[in-house]
C-alpha cells in the first residue's frame, strides 16, 4: 500500500503481517494496533504529546534494572496488572492480586505454627486459616510463601539493615490444610515515585501509597497457583491503593487480644505473647487446574 491514509492505516498494518504469524499473536496485535490508532485519532494526539509519551517510556527503560522494573510499575499504576489478574481469576477461588517487585525466591522453611516475627518491632499478629477447595475440602500439603514489610514499611530486599529473608517464609500445610504463624503487622508503603511513574502520579494528583498487606503465593499439585495479598480492614489506604490490588474478598480483620488470652495450640511463640496481640483468620480457596 503506497497511499496510506488515516482510514487505511490500521488495515494496512494488518495486511503487512505475514501468513506465518501465529494466530494468537495476530489477533492480539490486531486489537492492540486498532486501539492504539483509535486512541491517537480520538485525542488528535499532537507531536509534543506523542514525544512526551515516548520520553516517559525511554526514562522507564533507563531506570529499569534487575532490582526495579518501571514498566511493570507503569502497568501497576495504570491498573493493567490488576485487570489481567481479574481476567484470569476464576470466580470460585480466592481472587489473585499483584505480585509486586519484592518477592524473592528461596524463603526459609517455616513450620505450621512457626514464628516470622523474630526480633522485628511491631505488634504481634497470629495469622491462621485453611487452604481448601471451593467445597471446603482441605488441600493437604499445599505450599504457602509469605512475605511482608517490616515495621519501617520496607521489605528486606529494600533495606540493608534487615537480614536477607526477614519476614519471609515457606510453609507446607498438613492434612487439615491449616496454616498458622506469628508475625508483625505489616505497614503501608509508597511505590517508588522518583521516576517516570512518579511523574505521572504527581501530574495527576495521585499519591504513591499502598495499604499494608501480607503477600501469599499458594501452590498445590493439580491446582491453579494463587498469587495474592490480604489487606487489613482498618488500613487508611484500603480505598486508595495506588496499584488497585484491593478486593472485598481479600480483606482480613485484626481481632485485638489481651496479654494472656489463649493462643492456638502448636504456636512456637505461644509462651512469648506477654503483650496484647492481634489475631487474623483468613482462608484460601484454590481451584483445580483445568
List, as one string, the DSSP characters of 60-103. Answer: HHHH--SS--HHHHHHHHTTHHHHHHHHTS-TTSPPP----TT-
- Residue 147 C-alpha cell reads as 512475605
**Rule CB under 6 A: is residue 102 a binding residue for ligand BEZ?**
yes
**Rule CB under 6 A: is residue 191 a binding residue for ligand BEZ?**
yes
Name which of 21 and 187 has its Cβ closer to ligand BEZ.
187
* Per-residue contact string for residues 138-177; x = within reach of ligand BEZ by CB under 6 A: ----------------------------------------
From the CB of 34, what's the least distance to ligand BEZ, in Å? 29
Please choose which of ligand BEZ, Fe ion, none residue 241 contacts, taking the beta carbon within 5 to 8 angstroms, the exact cut-off set by kind. Answer: none
Looking at residues 23 to 82 of the shown chain, list those that interact with ligand BEZ (rule: CB under 6 A). Answer: 73, 76
Nearest to 96 by CA among 280, 230, 234: 230
Please choose which of ligand BEZ, Fe ion, none residue 220 contacts, taking the beta carbon within 5 to 8 angstroms, the exact cut-off set by kind. Answer: none
Q: Does residue 229 contact residue 98 with C-beta atoms inside 8 Å?
A: yes
Instruction: Using DSSP, state whether 98 is helix, strand or coil.
Output: coil
From the CB of 73, what's the least distance to Fe ion, in Å? 12
Rounded Cα distance between 244 and 80, Å, is 9
**Rule CB under 5 A: is residue 100 a binding residue for Fe ion?**
yes
List, as one string, the DSSP characters of 26-43. Answer: HHHHHHHHHHHHHHHHHT
Which spans of this chain sit near ligand BEZ (rule: CB under 6 A)? Answer: 73, 76, 98, 100-102, 191, 210, 243
Amino acid at each position: 500500500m503506497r497511499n496510506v491514509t488515516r482510514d487505511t492505516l490500521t488495515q494496512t498494518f494488518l495486511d503487512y503481517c505475514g501468513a506465518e504469524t501465529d494466530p494468537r499473536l495476530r489477533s492480539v496485535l490486531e486489537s492492540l494496533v486498532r486501539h492504539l490508532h483509535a486512541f491517537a485519532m480520538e485525542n488528535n494526539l499532537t507531536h509534543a504529546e506523542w514525544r512526551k509519551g515516548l520520553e516517559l517510556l525511554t526514562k522507564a527503560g533507563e531506570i529499569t534494572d534487575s532490582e526495579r522494573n518501571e514498566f511493570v510499575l507503569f502497568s501497576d499504576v495504570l491498573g493493567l496488572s490488576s485487570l489481567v489478574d481479574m481476567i484470569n481469576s476464576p470466580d470460585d477461588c480466592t481472587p489473585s492480586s499483584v505480585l509486586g517487585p519484592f518477592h524473592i525466591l528461596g524463603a526459609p522453611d517455616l513450620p505450621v505454627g512457626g514464628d516470622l516475627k523474630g526480633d522485628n518491632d511491631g505488634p504481634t499478629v497470629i495469622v491462621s486459616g485453611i487452604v481448601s477447595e471451593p467445597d471446603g475440602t482441605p488441600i493437604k500439603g499445599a505450599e504457602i510463601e509469605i512475605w511482608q514489610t517490616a515495621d519501617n514499611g520496607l521489605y528486606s530486599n529494600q533495606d540493608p539493615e534487615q537480614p536477607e529473608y526477614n519476614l519471609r517464609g515457606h510453609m507446607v500445610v498438613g492434612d487439615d490444610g491449616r496454616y498458622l504463624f506469628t508475625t508483625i503487622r505489616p505497614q503501608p508503603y509508597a511505590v517508588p515515585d522518583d521516576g517516570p511513574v512518579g511523574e505521572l502520579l504527581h501530574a495527576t494528583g495521585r499519591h504513591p501509597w499502598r495499604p499494608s498487606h501480607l503477600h501469599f503465593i499458594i501452590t498445590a499439585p493439580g491446582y491453579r497457583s494463587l498469587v495474592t495479598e490480604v489487606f487489613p480492614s482498618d488500613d487508611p489506604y484500603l480505598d486508595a491503593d495506588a496499584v488497585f490490588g484491593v478486593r472485598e474478598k481479600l480483606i482480613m480483620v485484626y481481632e485485638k487480644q489481651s496479654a494472656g488470652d489463649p493462643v492456638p495450640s502448636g504456636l512456637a511463640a505461644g509462651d512469648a505473647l506477654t503483650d496484647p496481640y492481634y489475631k487474623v483468620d483468613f482462608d484460601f480457596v484454590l481451584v483445580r487446574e483445568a
